[in-house]
Chains A and B, each alone.
Chain A
Amino acid sequence: MGIRKIELEVMRYDPEKDEAPHFQSYTVPCEEDWAILDAINYVKDNLDTTLAYRWSCHMMVCGSCGMMVNGEPSLTCKTFVRELPDKVRIEPLENFPIERDLVVVLDDVMQKLHKVQPYIIRKDPPPEGKEFTQSRGQLAIFKQLTMCINCMCCYAACPQYGLDKDFIGPAALALAHRYNRDSRDQGKSDRLDILADHDGVWECSFVGACSEVCPKHVDPAAAIQQMKIDGAMEFWKQKLGMPGDKS
């Protein structure tokens, strides 16, 4: 395996010194099997200890190393140097304020994740003395949605969120749908007001970029369109006086 030198153009921002972010270039000798995260780690360990960025597991589980790699929201532990040109531009995730260098402020989406009540809500008491049963078919309906690791690449890809920060956004809506589709959950009506609100599913215009960049193939765009259908059905059920989720 040979060493290949690439030029990493990294966005830097020091809130105590800089008025605005700027780019700094580093030449990094990369092993053939390196991910971009390895190249960034090389910079931190050997060239510039002041570089700030988030990472933890290096195996697509923690979701903390999401960055823009040549303009594409990517998990840097999953994006390999061998698939990229000799010059690679690294920026913090789009659509989020920059805290420092490659670290972004995630407070807004954390609040939105909380807002959709992403947990099992029960109206009836749980089965006494035994666990909930769920068939494999019932699990299959929402299993893909449980794969989200909150890397927020979908928010960085979503122009709707970029233009309107009130939009609840892809990951939080997909998470809501995950619980709405769970056979053990009875909280669909509790989530309806938030999801069917102006800043909920109807703010999505189905660009589909969230699903294309999702490193875990969660497909938030699909979840949101399904929720639109659910919401429309609920609207007509109410209009026609039929029993619905809200009744």
Chain B
Amino acid sequence: MSRRPYNRPMSTTTWYMRNSRYKVYVLRELTSFLVAFYTFLTIFALGALATSPERWNDFLASQQSTAMIVFHGLALLYFLFYQTFPWFKLAPKAMPIHLGEKKLPDSFIIVGHYVAWIVISAFIFWLAGVI
């Protein structure tokens, strides 16, 4: 009797279609494209700001078109559902806090993240003169 193990290689291009768990993961990872887009947008905005008041005003106008407002709104929703909410939910896994024999309930750590998020956002809005 001879051994001849059979290998089932995983497709490097379609593996994530195997189950819904993988699909959700890939949707989460795809938010990186939006992160890249907003990084370039920020650099572009800084460039416009440094060039001239006209260029800066042109940039502001370009971001206020209906299409861009819809895009930013959809991007925000995508970030919230596939980046912010999932990561905050996972945060207690990465940073469990033990108090003697007891573990601090996950909800404390999750709520802590939301509070920190709101406080930092409010600070940025204040800094930007929005509030």
Q: Please, which residues of chain A bring their CB within 8 A of the CB of B102?
A: 140
Cβ proximity bits B20-38 to A, threshold 8 Å, 1 near / 0 not = 0110010001000000000
User: Which parts of A95-109 form the interface with B (CB within 8 Å)?
Assistant: 95, 97-99, 105
User: Which parts of A106-147 form the interface with B (CB within 8 Å)?
Assistant: 136-137, 140-141
Query: How far is A244 from B3 in the complex, measured between Cα atoms in Å?
Result: 47
Known A98-B5, A208-B25, A225-B93; judge A140-B101 contact (CB<8 A): yes
Partner of B10 from A16, A95, A137, A221 at Cβ < 8 Å:
A95
B7 at the interface (CB under 8 A from A): yes
Within the complex, the shortest CB–CB distance from A195 to chain B, in Å, comes to 16
Query: How far is A216 from B97 in the complex, measured between Cα atoms in Å?
Result: 21
Query: How far is A221 from B22 in the complex, measured between Cα atoms in Å?
Result: 15
Cβ proximity bits A77-103 to B, threshold 8 Å, 1 near / 0 not = 000000000000000001101110000
A242 at the interface (CB under 8 A from B): no
Within the complex, the shortest CB–CB distance from B128 to chain A, in Å, comes to 31
Q: A226: nearest residue on chain B (CB-CB)? A: B94
Known A71-B19, A137-B98; judge A163-B103 contact (CB<8 A): no
A234 at the interface (CB under 8 A from B): no
A206 at the interface (CB under 8 A from B): yes
A21 at the interface (CB under 8 A from B): yes
Q: Tell me the A residues contacting B by CB distance below 8 Å.
A: 13, 15-16, 18, 20-21, 71-72, 94-95, 97-99, 105, 136-137, 140-141, 157, 159, 162-163, 205-209, 211-212, 219, 221-222, 225-226, 228-229
Q: Tell me the B residues contacting A by CB distance below 8 Å.
A: 1-8, 10, 12, 15-16, 18-19, 21-22, 25, 29, 90, 93-96, 98, 100-103
Given A94-B8, A222-B94, 17 new contacts (CB under 8 A): A16-B4, A18-B6, A72-B19, A97-B5, A97-B7, A98-B6, A137-B98, A140-B103, A159-B10, A159-B16, A159-B25, A162-B10, A205-B25, A208-B21, A208-B25, A211-B93, A212-B21
